[in-house]
Amino acid sequence: MSMITKEQIYHLYTEAIQKKYRYSNCYFQPQRFEEWLKEDAVSCYSFENSIIFLLNETDHIKVFFMSDDFEWINNFKIIVENIQNIYVIEIVTKGDPECYDLSTKIRCREIIKYERLRNGGEISESKTDEYFYCTEKDHKILREMMDSTFRPIGDHIPSDIELDGFIKSKSIIGIYDNESIAGFIIFEDTKKTSYVRMLCVNEKYRGKGIGNKLMQCYFSIHKDFKSFTLWCRADNTPALNLYINKWNYKKENLYNYIFIV
Amino acid sequence: MEEIYKILSELRPEFDFTDSDDFVEDGYLDSFDIISLVSAIEEKYNAKIDGLDVVPENFCTVEAIAALIRKSGGTI
């Protein structure tokens, strides 16, 4: 094992993506990697049959790998043996292949599993005007609701910059109860497809059908769209029931695993 | 080409891929669909797609996908 200097990392990265490794969780674009390098956020460890990149996030370290087998996990164990930290390994897989179950190879603090759901345009007539587009004045309460509902690891909580962007592009709709927000939904549209980034219901309004109302609002402004996707935690049964039973989403057999080591 | 259209419509039956000039730009395929598509075409055409080639421009039309299959050692 050898620690690679910053100057060599990009070269190793570009070399590695041409090697056609069998397994990888490097889903990012090369430009993103360049940005991380500029920020001095990435370190790299090179082995005979694998390469491992560690990306420093605020409160954890993200682990990226490219390898022909799962031997990389043993190399990873050596790297982290003496460094106390939280490591996050994110893997998207089609199906549920056993080889990707890192919990059999390394002790994990926690495993979070998300499933991707898709609605192929089977939307029932949905008409409602009970919603408002969230504005800049809602930024603070949106942030508070997100931070108290979702987890920084895995839930892909938007940054403040992203949140401002969503507000400006009218991509957040909320349901209000007097002056307070009962719930909101953030979506990202691409021509004929729409992706629900986040659906959040204020704790004191849960169990009152707010989530369903938000979906009704969402579909009422997406009547001409043909495809709708979202990621949902596999253990969030109420949310899965809402999406699958009420809004015709179907499981795609596509999983996102978050292994927290 | 017909076979590629078939694979695409099996993957995303809600879309008519013949009416799009750019599958990625039009939102017919996202990055996760491309992961599924790569494994489907590798299996179907016995191709091995280079990680560097998994970029949107290689999946935006059937012609681009066909070129990628040929480049990756597959026969169509």
- Residue A60 is assigned to a structural domain of this protein: yes
CB A90 within 8 A of CB A25: yes
Question: Quick count: other Cβ atoms within 10 Å of Cβ A231?
Answer: 21
- Percent of chain A exceeding pLDDT 70 equals 97
Q: For position A196, what pLDDT does the model report?
A: 97
Contact B14 A18 (CB under 8 A): no
> Within an 8 Å CB–CB cutoff, is residue A100 touching chain B?
no
pLDDT at A226 over 70: yes
pLDDT at A215 over 60: yes
pLDDT at A171 over 80: yes
Q: How far is CA B5 from CA B19, B48, B59, in A?
A: 11, 20, 12
A227-233 and A193-201 strand pairing:
parallel
Q: Are residues A145 and A73 in the same domain?
A: no
Q: Which range scores top for mean pLDDT: A28-37, B40-49, B57-66?
A: B57-66
Q: For position A153, what pLDDT does the model report?
A: 87
- Residue A129 is assigned to a structural domain of this protein: yes
- Residue A97 is assigned to a structural domain of this protein: no
- Residue A109 is assigned to a structural domain of this protein: no
> Within an 8 Å CB–CB cutoff, is residue A168 touching chain B?
no
DSSP string, chain A: -EEPPHHHHHHHHHHHHHTT-SEE---S-HHHHHHHHHTT-EEEEE-SSEEEEEEE-SSSEEEEEEESSTTHHHHHHHHHTT----EEEEEEEES--GGG-GGGTS--SEEEEEEEEEE-S----------EE--GGGHHHHHHHHHHHS-TTTS-PPPHHHHHHHHHTT-EEEEEETTEEEEEEEEEEETTEEEEEEEEE-GGGTTSSHHHHHHHHHHHT-TT--EEEEEEETT-HHHHHIIIIIT--EEEEEEEEEEE-
For chain B, what is the domain count? Answer: 1
Best probe of the A interface among B32, B49, B58, by most A CBs < 10 A, is B32
Q: For position A126, what pLDDT does the model report?
A: 66
- Among the residue ranges A62-71, A157-166, B47-56, the one predicted with the least confidence is B47-56
- Residue B58 is assigned to a structural domain of this protein: yes
Q: For position A103, what pLDDT does the model report?
A: 86
- Residue A112 is assigned to a structural domain of this protein: no
pLDDT at A1 over 60: no
CATH number of the domain where residue B17 is located: 1.10.1200.10
pLDDT at A119 over 80: yes
pLDDT (average), residues A236-243 = 94
> Within an 8 Å CB–CB cutoff, is residue B50 touching chain A?
yes
Q: What is the C-alpha separation between A209 and A102, in angstroms, rounded?
A: 37
Q: For position A230, what pLDDT does the model report?
A: 96
Q: Are residues A174 and A219 in the same domain?
A: yes
- Write the residue in A18, A120, A193 that is nearest to B52 by C-beta: A18
Give the pLDDT band (50/70/90) at residue A11.
Answer: confident
Contact B13 A120 (CB under 8 A): yes
CA–chain centroid gap for A38, Å, is 24
Structural domain of B6: 2-71
- Residue B27 is assigned to a structural domain of this protein: yes
- Residue B15 is assigned to a structural domain of this protein: yes
Q: What is the C-alpha separation between A85 and A62, in angstroms, rounded?
A: 11
pLDDT digits (tens, 9 = 90+) for A82-109: 778 999 999 988 877 777 788 888 889 9
Q: What is the C-alpha separation between A234 and A25, in angstroms, rounded?
A: 20
pLDDT (average), residues A189-200 = 93
Q: Are residues A246 and A128 in the same domain?
A: yes
φ, ψ for residue A104, nearest 5 deg? -80, -10
pLDDT (average), residues A178-206 = 93
Q: For position B76, what pLDDT does the model report?
A: 79
Cβ-based contacts of A94 with chain B (< 8 Å): 35-36, 39
Q: For position B55, what pLDDT does the model report?
A: 83
For chain A, what is the domain count? Answer: 2
CB A193 within 8 A of CB A228: yes
Best probe of the B interface among A224, A227, A253, by most B CBs < 10 A, is A227
Structural domain of A171: 119-252
- Residue B35 is assigned to a structural domain of this protein: yes
> Within an 8 Å CB–CB cutoff, is residue A176 touching chain B?
no
pLDDT at A2 over 60: no
Q: At which of A85, A106, A135 does a domain end?
A: A85
Higher pLDDT, B49 or A61: A61
Q: Are residues A133 and A52 in the same domain?
A: no
pLDDT digits (tens, 9 = 90+) for B4-57: 999 999 989 889 999 999 999 988 998 888 888 988 898 899 998 877 788 889
- Residue B50 is assigned to a structural domain of this protein: yes
Q: For position A189, what pLDDT does the model report?
A: 94
What is the average pLDDT value for chain A, to the nearest integer? 89
- Write the residue in A18, A94, A227 that is nearest to B36 by C-beta: A94
> Within an 8 Å CB–CB cutoff, is residue A27 touching chain B?
yes
- Residue B76 is assigned to a structural domain of this protein: no
Q: Are residues A162 and A45 in the same domain?
A: no
Q: Are residues A151 and A61 in the same domain?
A: no
Contact A18 B15 (CB under 8 A): no
Q: Which range scores top for mean pLDDT: A100-109, A129-138, A161-170, B44-53?
A: A161-170
